[in-house]
Structure 1
Amino acid sequence: MLKVICFCAVLLTMPSWGAQKEIIGQTAQLSVEEVGLIYDARMDTGAANTSLHAIDLEIEGGSAAKMKDNIGKTLWFTTQNEAGEARRLSAKIIQVSTVKNSQGRETRYMVSLNVGFDGKERQVKVNLRDRSHMDYRLLVGRNWLKDHYIVDVAEKQLIGPVATINIVEAGLGYKTRIDTGAVENSLHAVDLKIEGGVEDMEKNVGKMIAFTTENEQGERQRVRSRIVETSLIRNAQGSEIRYMVELNVGEPGKEYKTKVNLRDRSKMTNKLLIGRNWLQGHYMVDVSR
């Protein structure tokens, strides 16, 4: 099947909130200012509110029969992080919340605490519960994330505009251009030979192809792979059809299989170009690196 790829200059108008939100992974080391401890916190977009491990709850002056009648009173509690560091502190009860989960329903006291990265905390409502049997003593809910963070559960790694990238099948490392404007990866390849090949490129899909590749240091290797499809590339020079193969491509020790189109890049500075089909879901590009 012939896939058509167009390289176009497109002006993207981003929503105003896009520039304001930061990306955060599924876990992060966050502090609670009033406690003075650092927690290994879990980001939970399924939870409406943030939850902190708390035990030995004691209300100054005694507790009322109904939890909601304790709103406005001072609550003392002990909290502990994953490192075993414990603190006892007090806070005013500002609300009670009913939480539904797989165990049923439970009502928790809520207090206002400053939660965030050390030195950059901000105030948020936090419900208190015994989380001693859980992996994370601080769970961060939507009330802390909203309008400030986008959660990246893939925990993508950062990569610069140029990186050393290996191709396992070639046994070579390339000084690679990382190009978010390119849909596909492209590898320098010459002397292409197709087993049982015919003139019609589309009819060669599925056949084995051998080619010679070379990195920026002049190291050469002959590689054999199977043609998985053809791709029509349109750029400033016109258009051309290229064969695509699947190769294991990545940073040393982090290679994974991806599609790569083959072309003569001998006149280009970088013999391997990485496009969005390799980056997507794995990397974010920081051009200042």
Structure 2
Amino acid sequence: MKNKDVKRSDVEKKLIGRREKVSFPELGIEEIEAKIDTGAYTSAIHCSDIHEEVQPDGTKVIALDLLDPSHPQYNHKKLKFSEYDFREIKNSFGDVQERYVITTKIQVFDEVIEAEFSLSDRSDMKYPVLIGRKLLKGRFVVDVSRKNVAFKSRNKQQKKI
């Protein structure tokens, strides 16, 4: 293939592994392990005690605990979101579930990306965060033989400074 035939978007994609350490700057979570799942469309994050509340001014919010008390990065903060959606999402078994979906920022490498995450109880899963195709598309290429590529790259860059 000649250089002029290579799409600009193909050149800019970063290589990531099957697992990556990511951060959520708006949620106060640093370097949490995420599973990269090209079979999943929507990304997901583990939450517990997810429920809707009505504020004194009448607005609805969803309240939740990010992660759960058994997770080492659980920070005991009750989070509330006034902007959210409620959608049907297929789980890993192909069953449709209704889940809340929020938009928040995730950091992979030094790139901060605004992305949608469905909120679900992932306590039975090995990884509290799942990164799906919608977030990956146009940004990353997955090498399933590698892991923590972004995390290792960030550490190398920080040591150079």
The TM-score range, normalised by the shorter chain, is 0.7 to 0.9
1:87-106 matched pairs, under 5 angstroms: 87-101=77-91, 102=93, 104-106=95-97
1:85 aligns with 2:74: yes
SS class of match (2:54): coil
TM-score of the superposed pair, with normalisation by structure 1? 0.44
The residue type paired with residue 41 of structure 1 is A
1:17-47 CA deviation, whole Å, 9 max, x = no partner? 1211111101100011221113100011111
Q: Does 1:151 align with 2:138?
A: no
Offset at 1:57?
A: 1.6
CA distance in structure 2 between the aligned counterparts of 1:110 and 1:75, rounded to whole angstroms: 10
Q: Relative to 1, partners in 2 of residues 1:133 and 1:30: Cα closer, same or farther, differing over 3 Å?
A: same
| Counterpart code for 2:136 | L
Residue identity opposite 1:47 in structure 2:
A
| Greater fraction of residues in strand | 1
Matches within 5 A, 1:61-72: 61=54
Shift of the 60–150 alpha-carbon distance from structure 1 to 2, 3 Å rule, reads: same
Shift of 1:11: 4.3
Rg (Cα) greater in structure: 1
Give the letter aligned to residue 81 of structure 2. Answer: A
AA at the equivalent of 1:83: P
Asked whether the equivalents of residues 91 and 112 of structure 1 are also in contact (C-alpha less than 8 Å), the reply is no
Deviations 1:149-174 (A, max 9, x none): 11111218x9xxxxxxxxxxxxxxxx
CA RMSD of aligned residues (A): 2.5
Question: Does 1:75 find its partner at 2:62?
Answer: yes
* 2:19 counterpart of 1:27: yes
| Cα deviation, residue 59, structure 1 | 2.0
CA distance in 1, matches of 2:39, 2:60: 29
> Contact 1:31–1:118 (CA<8 Å) still a contact in 2?
no
Task: Say whether the 8 Å CA contact 1:73–1:93 is kept in structure 2.
Answer: no
Larger RCO: 1 or 2 (CA < 8 Å, sep 6+): 2
Q: Out of 36, 45, 50, which is 2:43 matched to? A: 50
For the residues of structure 2 that align with 1:118 and 1:92, how far apart are their CA atoms?
29
Q: 1:18 aligns with which of 3, 6, 10?
A: 10
What amino acid maps onto 1:127 in structure 2?
S
Q: How far, CA to CA, are the matches of 2:110 and 2:81 in structure 1? A: 20
Q: Quick one: which amino acid aligns to residue 129 of structure 2?
A: L
Code of the residue aligned with 1:51 in structure 2: it is A
Comparing both structures, which one devotes a greater share of its residues to helix?
2
Gaps of 5+ in 1: 1-9, 63-71, 159-289
Distance across 1 between alignment mates of 2:39 and 2:11: 24
Equivalents in 1 of 2:11, 2:49: separation in Å? 43
Q: 1:91: how far off?
A: 1.6
TM-score of the two chains, using structure 2 as the length reference:
0.75
Runs of 4+ in 1 over 4 A off after TM superposition: none
Closer/same/farther in 2, CA of residues 83 and 135 from structure 1, 3 Å limit: same
What per-residue deviation string (whole Å, max 9, x for no partner) do you get for residues 175-219 of structure 1? xxxxxxxxxxxxxxxxxxxxxxxxxxxxxxxxxxxxxxxxxxxxx
The one-letter code matched in structure 2 to 1:139 is L
**What does residue 254 of structure 1 align with?**
none
Contact 2:45 2:120 in 1 (8 A): yes
SS in 2 for 1:60: strand
- The amino acid across from 1:85 in the alignment is Y
Task: Provide the aligned length of Structure 1 versus Structure 2.
Answer: 139
Listed as ranges, the matches of 1:247-286 within 5 Å are none
Within 1, Cα distance between the matches of 2:109 and 2:136? 16
Query: SS in structure 2 opposite 1:48?
Result: coil
SS at match of 2:134: helix
